[in-house]
Amino acid sequence: MDRGPGDRRRWLLDGLFATALLAIGLAGTAPAGLNQGVHAGPVAYPPVVVAALALAVRRRWPLPTLAVVVAATTGYLMLGQPYGPILLSFFVAVYTVAAHLPVRTAAVAGAVALAALALYVFAGVRPPGAVGLMPVAAWVVVPFAVGVTVRLSREAAARSRSDEARRLADAERLRVAREVHDVVGHGLAAIHLQAEVALHLLARRPEQAEAALTAISRTSKEALDELRVTLTVVRREETTDGRAPVPGLAQLGHLRERLAGAGVPVTVETTGEPRPLPVAVDLAAYRVAQEALTNVLRHAGPATAAVRVGYAPGEVTVEVTDTGRGRPAPADRTAGSGLAGMRERVTALGGTFDAGPAVSGGFRVHATLPTGEAT
C-alpha cells in the first residue's frame, strides 16, 4: 500500500529516534551499572537493542510496541541488570500509547505494563520489594499522564479548527444567501410589478403592454447577468467576458431605470466628490440602495423614491427615502434579509445603519460606511 509523504516522514523520524536510543543504550548501560555498583553483563544488551528498535514502529503499532518494550524491560530488570537507558525506551512506549490511543485502551495497557514490572519488584534477581512499588509506578504514571495531556491538547486544537472551519462555512453560506437574495429579490419584485402592468393593459392598450413586457425581458436579463457575476465573485473566480460589472454605486443609474420601468420614479443625488471606493464598501452601499428600493416596490404602494449618496473624508453615506406608506417591511421579510440584511452588511464593515418612518412621511433608510482612507 502506498503511503503519503506524511507517513514516510513519520517512519523516518521514528527510525532515527529509535537509532538514537539504541546508541544511547549501548553506550550508557555499562556506565550506569558502574555508578550503581552493578556489573552490566552481556545479557543486558539484547533487551536494550530490542526495546530501542521496537520504537521504530511505535506510532504505527503502539500496543505491539509497548508489549515488546515491556517484555524486554521486565526481562532486563529480572536478570538483575542496572537501571539504565532501557528505561527511556519504556517511558517512550508508555507515552506513545497514551498519546495515540483512547484513554480506556491506554489505561488497560498501562495497567498491564505496571503488573509486568511488579514481577521484577517481588521476584527479580535483586528485587527491591514493596519499597520499589512507588518508583516503578511512577515509571508508568508519569509518561502516561504526559501522553494523555498531549492527546487531549491535540484533540482540543482539532476541535477548535473544526469549529472555526464550520463558523467560516456558515458565514460564507450567509454571505451567499444575502447576495442571491439581493439580486434575485430585487429583480423578481420589478418583474412582478411590470407583469401586473402588462396584464392590466394587455386588452385595452396593447402597445403599452408591449413596453411593459419589453421591460420584463430587460430586467430579467440584467438580473441574470448580475446573478452570474455575483456567483462568480462568490467562487473567487475572475470575470473575463466583462458583460456585467461587479455591482457598485456606479450602477445606480441602471437601478433607477429598472425602477422607473416598474412604475416607481427614482431620483439620484450625489454630494461631495465621487471617488473609487473599496470593493466591499462599494458593493455594500449599492446593496443598501438596491434593497431599500426593492422594499419601496414591495411595500410602499404608489410612491416616488430618492437616493442620496454623500462622499465625505473617510466615509460614504447612502440615504433612500420614499413618499409611500411609511411602514417597514413585515417582520418575516426583515429577518436575516431585508432591513436586517442591510444592517448586517453595514455593521460588518464598521458602519452605522438606521431605518424607520421619515419625519416628512414615507420611509427612510440611512447608512454610513467607513472607506478606510486617511483624513
The enclosing domain of 204 has a CATH number of 3.30.565.10
Task: State the amino acid at position 150 in one-letter form.
Answer: V
> What is residue 7's predicted lDDT score, i.e. its pLDDT?
74
In sequence order, what are the beta bridge partners of 268?
307
Burial class (CB in 10 A: 0-12, 13-18, 19+), 187: buried
Answer whether residue 375 is part of any domain.
no
pTM exceeds 0.75, yes or no: no
Do 184 and 52 fall within a single domain? no
Whole-number Å distance between alpha carbons of 137 and 115: 9
Do 81 and 171 fall within a single domain? no
> What is residue 235's predicted lDDT score, i.e. its pLDDT?
58
> What is residue 112's predicted lDDT score, i.e. its pLDDT?
93
Answer whether residue 146 is part of any domain.
no
> What is residue 328's predicted lDDT score, i.e. its pLDDT?
58
Whole-number Å distance between alpha carbons of 159 and 155: 6
Do 207 and 306 fall within a single domain? yes
Last residue of a domain, one of 69, 100, 127: 127
CA angle 192, 197, 199 (to 5 degrees): 95
Answer whether residue 148 is part of any domain.
no
Do 100 and 193 fall within a single domain? no
* 8 A C-beta contact, residue 303 and residue 296: yes
The sheet that has 315-322: what strands, in order across it?
Answer: 266-271, 305-312, 315-322, 363-370, 352-357
Answer whether residue 153 is part of any domain.
no
> What is residue 345's predicted lDDT score, i.e. its pLDDT?
83
Do 121 and 180 fall within a single domain? no
Domain containing residue 270? 166-370
Number of compact structural domains in the chain: 2
Do 122 and 170 fall within a single domain? no
Contacts for 290 with CB less than 8 Å, ≥ 6 apart = 182, 186, 247, 255
Do 24 and 86 fall within a single domain? yes
Last residue of a domain, one of 68, 99, 127: 127
Answer whether residue 9 is part of any domain.
yes
pLDDT in tens, the chain (375 residues): 445 566 788 888 988 989 999 999 888 888 877 777 777 788 889 999 999 999 999 998 999 999 999 999 998 888 888 888 899 999 999 999 999 999 899 999 999 999 988 888 877 667 677 767 888 889 999 999 999 999 999 888 888 888 887 887 777 677 667 767 666 666 666 676 667 767 777 777 777 677 767 777 776 766 666 666 666 655 554 444 444 456 789 989 888 887 887 778 899 999 999 999 988 889 889 989 988 888 887 776 667 899 999 999 999 999 999 887 766 555 444 434 578 878 888 988 899 999 988 888 889 999 999 987 654
Answer whether residue 300 is part of any domain.
yes
Burial class (CB in 10 A: 0-12, 13-18, 19+), 134: exposed
